Amino acid sequence: MPDSYNYPAAIERDEDGRHVVSFPDFGWGATDGATRDEALAEARDLLRELIAATMREGGALPKPSPAGRRRPLVVPPVQTALKAALYEAWREAGISQRRLARDLDVAESEVRRMLNPDHATKAATIDRALRRLGKRLTVSVGEAA
């Protein structure tokens, strides 16, 4: 289970001079922008969708590879990272949604919403579920790039 959902982006220039961003760890998807900054802003949305699509399909999220000077880290939205952490912890536990609901003393529909990348869930609710799965949520703040 990754401890971070920040992924390095590959940036190339296309024949029209646009900055094209992809995430090699996922192996699919790309976005672009007229400037590097615009492309990286679009990359955040792409990363959110790559993580969400992997979760919807029931797949394992790739472990982020190391960043580099030419491969900047892209940070997903906080809600996406929280959902990804819960999803991965649930998969790692190998239990059903029904079992997790029983362990949390909530309806199974609430667990489905918690694991749905498109549904807003309070951070405190995700934290509680993570703790029940034997994980703890930590937050860190770093310098802006």
Q: Is residue 12 part of a domain?
A: yes
111 and 59 in a single domain? The answer is no
14 and 70 in a single domain? The answer is yes
68 and 110 in a single domain? The answer is no
Res 122: pLDDT: 96
59 and 87 in a single domain? The answer is no
Per-chain mean pLDDT for the chain: 94
Share of the chain above pLDDT 90, in %: 88
70 and 13 in a single domain? The answer is yes
85 and 69 in a single domain? The answer is no
The parent domain of residue 122 ranges over 78-132
11 and 70 in a single domain? The answer is yes
Look at residue 14 and tell me whether its pLDDT is greater than 90: yes
23 and 11 in a single domain? The answer is yes
Q: Is residue 64 part of a domain?
A: yes
Q: Is residue 109 part of a domain?
A: yes
46 and 96 in a single domain? The answer is no
Spell out the SS3 assignment of the chain: CCCCCCEECEEEECCCCCEEEECCCCCCCEEEECCHHHHHHHHHHHHHHHHHHHHHHCCCCCCCCCCECCECEECCCHHHHHHHHHHHHHHHHCCCHHHHHHHHCCCHHHHHHHHCCCCCCCHHHHHHHHHHCCCCCCCCCCCCC
Res 49: pLDDT: 98
Question: What domain count does the chain have?
Answer: 2
Q: Looking at 35, 50, 74, which one is the last position of a domain?
A: 74
pLDDT digits (tens, 9 = 90+) for 44-92: 999 999 999 999 999 999 999 988 888 999 999 999 999 999 999 999 9
Res 1: pLDDT: 64
